[in-house]
Amino acid sequence: MFPCLPDEPGREGNAKRAKKPTWEGWTEWATTDEATIRAWWKGHDWNIGVLTTDMVAVDIDTKPGRDGMASWMQVYGGFDTLTVRTPSGGLHLYYTGANVALNQGALGAGLDIRSHHGYVLAPGSTIDGVPYRVEIDQPMAQAPREVVLRCKPPGERAANAQHALVDLDTPAAIHAAVSIVNDAPAAIEGERSEAAYRLACRVRDHGVSEAMCRHIMAPWGERSAVVGDDLHMRIGNAYAYAQNASGAKHPDVLFSGITVPEPPSLISPDALAAERVASARSRFKLETLADCEAEEDGAYIVKGALAPGSVNCVYGPPNSGKSVFASHLAMCVAQGREFFGRKVTATRTLYIASENPRSIRRRLRALRQQHGDTSDLLLIGATPDLFNASGDAEAITQIVQDEGIGLVVLDVLADAFPGMDENSNTGMGRVVQVAKMWAATGAAVILVHHVAKDHGGTPRGHGSLLGALDWGVLVEPDAETGTVSAKWWGGGSGGKIRDGAGAAVQFRNEVVPLGKDRDGERITTVVCREMTAAEIRAERDAQIKGNPAKVHAEAVRLALSLRTPNAAPGDPLPSIPCDTLKEACTAARGVLDAETDKGRSRAYRTAVATLEAKGRLYREPGTERFIVYGWGDGDPVEFNSRPDVRDARLAMENPGAAVVSQAHACAIVGSMRGGAGLKVADFGIVSIPTPPSAPH
């Protein structure tokens, strides 16, 4: 299994979008490990992708004009295996014991095959609110011989498939590719994905880079209704999984056995050799001992962590907060603000958003709202091609030099090196080459990357990257604190965390509002909120588990049942009778972990005492009723619409006082931030977004 994007009914293009994998490289990320799957889906409503390698999934389409059922009856006609009904009314038949090439329509109109390096959405997924559901619940049967014999075996990749046999994007190669694309017929409904993939493979075979392929295929994509990210993903798959080496169909390769006379040289061999030596000689500067003394010692961008001219890596599992951490670092460096308590030298910064430019733009907008503007953080919101001979790496080097850039952040590595085999020395060696090219300008370089598939605490791919790094940061969720941990290690330590490199720090991926869209609905993004040790301890102390958590949940349920239908989302819950809560919790089949009435009564008293001590329950003076705190729906609320226990006491002891006084709000937030020196004048009505699972 692996995650696909969540269903968002009503969103334009949702039916196609909700079938897309959440991450690139899903053929490698897919897993059967239950713990990993639970971690991926925790807090997310992803659709569910099932990798069909070593399986055969028959997709029977029943939409008008595509009578897949009739075609299936002619081919095989059996319904003798696990069968799923799709939201469109079609069927997915799951078979095992075979691995064939993907094809659309080869078995007949309305019949598609998903097998090697393919996927389908599984039950538990929805499209526009309509679920995939099991139609025939039985084990997967052996793939029918009648089906397998009519399919092609999955293609074997050439050993040099990731290499380029010729210089890319020569005029001859581009001319041939344009001719191929112009002659290609537009794809029809149901066959667009495979047609785009095959056409991109043909373009690649002629020695054309992925970036140029996107440009050449754009008119065909318009004719075939395969545009934007959809087309780019198909082209990316072709460059990642194509069977041949790039340029395999180029004339220089096809006719390599034919001797072509060399044109007469315009320069003598001796003069050419002398020019080559002179060019190389200019790169080497002789330094005296005085020159060595003039070099500044201890220069830093982030003290103890990031030095000019260094190559570094921020990496971790998918969706852990790598980009959140990296964008926060970039903003701190551009503004010269402290970064997790470390001193920072204000440095002009370039952020290359190669994976999701729109998301990074939103994040930078939020950081600007929080910390103010800066002209020293520049963004490239486009995906460069740094692996092939596109000139993009050299162009960015020129930008770094022209703009006086001191820090380059590439987010993420994999997307910026299309067609690279990151497990080879050749592939990852190119990454190191580009990073060092940028670092040679004096800029520090940070590569945002994934962790190794088996985790292991090291960056994914060939070890040549690990050996080239000056430092790395492993970003991963911290189960103990409920935050995200960033652990530094220094160069030469083989990926091991060293005391000299600094202890781990914690942060929270905090959802913040950006504004509203044209429909008046809230727009949010995620930013990094640095967490101090005191804040983490306070949150840990506020957590409730076991019987107290169960009693609190029951109290919230009872209070919600007493709420008026027209109550606003931010209104406090109504109080509940103490006896009603006790009865609900200590009933024979109540919520407490105790077998006897006496045991349940004792457990209830202990749980209530814990909840009162932690500020989750407050007994109204002069009544036998509880006020319930620490519940939430995740929406932003006005600061004074959900007071904590101290504010309730303040109001009751001082009739007529505001539920939350400005002075008391200052004291609360000041203490949470470790005494940040806030003043009463800093507070009016303050909107505070609620982090997941945190008490209000």
Instruction: Find out whether the peptide bond into 302 is cis, omega within 30 degrees of 0.
Output: no
Sign of CA dihedral 654, 657, 660, 661: negative
Structure tokens at 349: 């910064």
Report the pLDDT averaged over residues 599-616.
87
The residues, any chain, with a CB within 8 Å of residue 355's CB and separated by 6 or more, are 24, 323, 383, 411, 412, 414, 415
What is the pLDDT, as a whole number, of residue 454? Answer: 66
Decide: 544 and 610 in contact? Cβ < 8 Å.
yes
φ/ψ (deg, to 5) at 211 = -60, -45
Most trustworthy range by pLDDT among 78-87, 142-151, 205-214, 390-399: 78-87
pLDDT exceeds 90 at position 94: yes
Among the candidates 148, 163, 189, a domain finishes at 148
The answer to whether residue 402 is domain-embedded is yes
What is the pLDDT, as a whole number, of residue 253? Answer: 65
142 shares its domain with 187: no
Q: Report the alpha-carbon distance of residue 593 to residue 173 in Å, rounded.
A: 73
- Asked which of 295-304, 318-327, 340-349, 495-504 is least confident by mean pLDDT, the reply is 495-504
Report the pLDDT averaged over residues 361-371.
93
pLDDT exceeds 90 at position 350: yes
> What is the phi-psi region of residue 502: left when phi exceeds 0, alpha when psi lies from -120 to 50, beta otherwise?
left
105 shares its domain with 194: no
What is the pLDDT, as a whole number, of residue 126? Answer: 95
Cα 383 to chain centroid, rounded: 16
**Residue of 183, 235, 181 whose CA lies nearest to 209:** 235
Q: Report the alpha-carbon distance of residue 431 to residue 425 in Å, rounded.
A: 10
What is the pLDDT, as a whole number, of residue 279? Answer: 58
420 shares its domain with 563: no
441 shares its domain with 326: yes
Sign of CA dihedral 327, 330, 335, 337: positive
The answer to whether residue 160 is domain-embedded is no
**Residue of 292, 311, 297, 305 whose CA lies nearest to 332:** 305
Q: How confident is the model at residue 688 (pLDDT cuts 50, 70, 90)?
A: low
CATH number at 659 reads 1.10.10.10
Structure tokens at 544: 């409730």
Q: Report the alpha-carbon distance of residue 326 to residue 314 in Å, rounded.
A: 7
- Residue 652 vs residue 189, higher pLDDT: 189
**Cross-strand partners of 123:** 125
What is the pLDDT, as a whole number, of residue 662? Answer: 44
pLDDT exceeds 60 at position 537: yes
Report the pLDDT averaged over residues 401-416.
94
DSSP 318: T
- 254-292 as b/e: b if 16+ CB within 10 A: eeeeeeeeeeeeeeeeeeeeeeeeeeeeeeeeeeeeeee
Domain residues for 235?
171-254
pLDDT in tens, 644-662: 333 444 444 444 433 444 4
Structure tokens at 577: 């009778």
Give the DSSP letter string of 619-634: EPTTSSEEEE-S---S
Q: Give the 3-state secondary structure of residue 407.
A: strand
400 residue type, one letter = V
Q: How confident is the model at residue 421 (pLDDT cuts 50, 70, 90)?
A: confident
φ/ψ (deg, to 5) at 40 = -60, -45
Among the candidates 226, 254, 282, a domain finishes at 254
HSE-up of residue 219 (Cα within 13 Å, Cβ side): 10
**Residue of 487, 432, 478, 423 whose CA lies nearest to 454:** 423
pLDDT exceeds 60 at position 635: no
- Residue 493 vs residue 484, higher pLDDT: 484
The residues, any chain, with a CB within 8 Å of residue 634's CB and separated by 6 or more, are 690, 692
Q: What angle do CA 616, 622, 625 make, to 5 degrees?
A: 40
Q: How confident is the model at residue 78 (pLDDT cuts 50, 70, 90)?
A: confident
Report the pLDDT averaged over residues 469-497.
74
Report the pLDDT averaged over residues 473-502.
66
Q: For residue 604, count CB atoms less than 10 angstroms from its CB and return exposed for 0-12, middle for 13-18, buried for 19 or more.
A: buried
Give the DSSP letter string of 240-266: HH-SSPBTTTSHHHHTTTS--PPPPPS
Report the pLDDT averaged over residues 536-549.
78
Q: Would you give the end-to-end CA distance of the chain in angstroms? A: 35
Q: How confident is the model at residue 425 (pLDDT cuts 50, 70, 90)?
A: confident
What is the pLDDT, as a whole number, of residue 220? Answer: 92
Return the percentage of the chain with pLDDT > 70, whole number. 78
pLDDT exceeds 50 at position 265: no
What is the pLDDT, as a whole number, of residue 407? Answer: 97
The number of folded domains in the chain is 4
What is the pLDDT, as a whole number, of residue 104? Answer: 56
HSE-up of residue 321 (Cα within 13 Å, Cβ side): 25
pLDDT in tens, 490-511: 754 444 444 334 468 899 888 8
Decide: 357 and 412 in contact? Cβ < 8 Å.
no
Report the pLDDT averaged over residues 627-642.
46
Report the pLDDT averaged over residues 259-268.
47
pLDDT in tens, 97-113: 888 876 655 677 888 88
445 shares its domain with 513: yes
The answer to whether residue 277 is domain-embedded is no
Q: Report the alpha-carbon distance of residue 615 to residue 638 in Å, rounded.
A: 19
187 shares its domain with 91: no
Q: Report the alpha-carbon distance of residue 675 to residue 534 in Å, rounded.
A: 11
Q: Report the alpha-carbon distance of residue 48 to residue 121 in Å, rounded.
A: 6
**Residue of 312, 347, 322 whose CA lies nearest to 332:** 347
461 shares its domain with 480: yes
What is the pLDDT, as a whole number, of residue 443? Answer: 95
112 shares its domain with 201: no
pLDDT in tens, 136-149: 999 998 888 888 87
102 shares its domain with 178: no
The answer to whether residue 36 is domain-embedded is yes
Decide: 606 and 594 in contact? Cβ < 8 Å.
no
Q: How confident is the model at residue 668 (pLDDT cuts 50, 70, 90)?
A: very low
What is the pLDDT, as a whole number, of residue 106? Answer: 64
Query: Is the pTM value of this prediction over 0.75?
Result: no
Give the DSSP letter string of 510-579: EEEEEEE-TTS-EEEEEEEEEE-HHHHHHHHHH---HHHHHHHHHHHHHHHHTS-TT--TTSPPPPEEHH
What is the pLDDT, as a whole number, of residue 254? Answer: 62
The answer to whether residue 259 is domain-embedded is no
The answer to whether residue 514 is domain-embedded is yes
Structure tokens at 311: 């190559």
Helix H, strand E, coil C: the string for 124-150 is: CEEECCEECEEEECCCCEECCHHHHCC
Taking each helix axis as running N to C, give the angle between helix 578-586 and helix 546-561, from 0 to 180 degrees, rounded to the nearest 10: 130
Query: In whole numbers, what is the pLDDT of the chain averaged over residues?
Result: 79
Among the candidates 496, 513, 531, a domain finishes at 531
76 shares its domain with 125: yes
13 shares its domain with 135: yes
HSE-up of residue 124 (Cα within 13 Å, Cβ side): 15
Sign of CA dihedral 613, 615, 621, 624: negative
The answer to whether residue 321 is domain-embedded is yes
Q: Report the alpha-carbon distance of residue 643 to residue 559 in Å, rounded.
A: 16
What is the pLDDT, as a whole number, of residue 519? Answer: 82
The answer to whether residue 607 is domain-embedded is yes
Q: How confident is the model at residue 444 (pLDDT cuts 50, 70, 90)?
A: very high
SS3 content of the chain, % helix, strand, coil (to 5): 35, 20, 45
525 shares its domain with 556: no
Q: How confident is the model at residue 17 (pLDDT cuts 50, 70, 90)?
A: confident
